[in-house]
Structure 1
Amino acid sequence: MAPQISGTVDKKLFGLYLSDHLAGATAGQGRIERMARDFTDTPFHAELAALATQIREEREYVRGLVGDFGLPRRTPRRAAAWVAERAGRLKLNGRVVSRSPMTLVLESEFMRSAVIGKLGLWQTLHDLSGDLGLDGSRFDGLATKAREQIATLDRVHEYARRRSFYTNRGS
């Protein structure tokens, strides 16, 4: 049986909410995939690659929910998120052609914020699951995974911030 939005849930607001999270997931997916490609020289490359896979799968799940509920696809929102993610790559960090030592700090901060937002999505969907015809335990698992992703990004951030702002970056 396909999930269905009960009459107690405002379908328009819920659709906007889910669409906004799909747009954010689109931007986050692009960012984390780029991090996994760009930071192969760190001890966190494998973890970043695993995060990229998880985030891609979660984005597809949210995209599937939009379709399952028959909600409108808000392409302009996703396109705006895509553009914003790419514009976010243009940081004035003192480097034109080479990667700034500060880049991993900023990228990990951006992704932590994104994953914290996604955690809120899973919590909201858990709370609404009965009115949506969904299994709430699925969102408990996704929330746990989001917390693990935050912990990984915290470790990446710690690694980066302890090296980025010193002249001797290897320590």
Structure 2
Amino acid sequence: MATELLHTYMQDHHAGAAAGVDLFRRVAADHEDPETRAVVSRIGDETEEDLRTQEELMTLAGTSPSMLKDLPARAAEKLGQLKPNRRFAERSPLSDLLELEALTIAVRGKELGFRALLDIGDPRLPRPTLEALVQRAVEHGEQLEKLRLRCTDALREN
């Protein structure tokens, strides 16, 4: 039972990570600020590396990604673009803020997932690898928070 739960947990986090990579790619392509684009693009590349490492960990744990979970998660990310924002031909000033918040949530979920794998102490999962993944997620969160704070001006009344 515990093994089945671990497999499900890892597959669920993989699905979220796959959707997160798509979100990073879209935000990096759409954002107008060159610095934000560069940071988000780099974090997206590193998140894709983390996804490959996660797949290696899944193999070590005797499981693999589930297309039945990955595809709907990726589709949900695409559908998230269709939110009404009172603007039809241009991006809303809130788009940058909301997208950076979504990326921050994704990175926090990644961090929590890797922390949970650390907590269980499964001997099949190398502790140094998990510690490095947690640390990178923390760093990504800090970098995204700096970018997010720059976007809160959209909420100020002029």
Aligned: 1:121 with 2:121: no
Contact 1:33 1:52 survives alignment (8 Å): yes
TM-score normalised by structure 1 residue count: 0.84
Which residue of 4, 26, 48 corresponds with 1:12? 4
Deviates more, 1:60-69 or 1:49-58: 60-69
- Distance (whole Å) between structure 1 residues aligned to residue 125 and residue 108 of structure 2: 22
- Distance (whole Å) between structure 1 residues aligned to residue 146 and residue 4 of structure 2: 38
Alpha-carbon RMSD across the aligned residues, in angstroms, is 1.8
- Distance (whole Å) between structure 1 residues aligned to residue 56 and residue 78 of structure 2: 24
- Counterpart residue number, 1:43: 35
- Distance (whole Å) between structure 2 residues aligned to residue 99 and residue 107 of structure 1: 11
User: Is there any run of 5+ residues in structure 2 with no aligned partner, and where?
Assistant: none
TM-score normalised by structure 2 residue count: 0.90
- Distance (whole Å) between structure 1 residues aligned to residue 80 and residue 66 of structure 2: 21
Q: Secondary structure at the match of 1:44?
A: helix
Report how far residue 40 of structure 1 moved: 4.4
- Distance (whole Å) between structure 1 residues aligned to residue 136 and residue 4 of structure 2: 28
Question: Which one has a larger percent helix, Structure 1 or Structure 2?
Answer: 2
Q: Secondary structure at the match of 1:93?
A: coil
- Distance (whole Å) between structure 1 residues aligned to residue 77 and residue 123 of structure 2: 31
Letter in 2 for 1:45: R
Q: Which runs of 4+ in 1 moved over 6 A?
A: none
Contact 2:17 2:51 survives alignment (8 Å): yes
Deviation digits for residues 8-61 of structure 1 (CA, Å, limit 9, x no counterpart)? x81100000000000000110000111111114343221111101011111111
Larger Rg: 1
Letter in 2 for 1:150: G
Letter in 1 for 2:66: R
Letter in 2 for 1:126: L
Q: Secondary structure at the match of 1:146?
A: helix
Cα distance change of structure 1 residues 58 and 72 upon mapping to structure 2, 3 Å threshold: closer
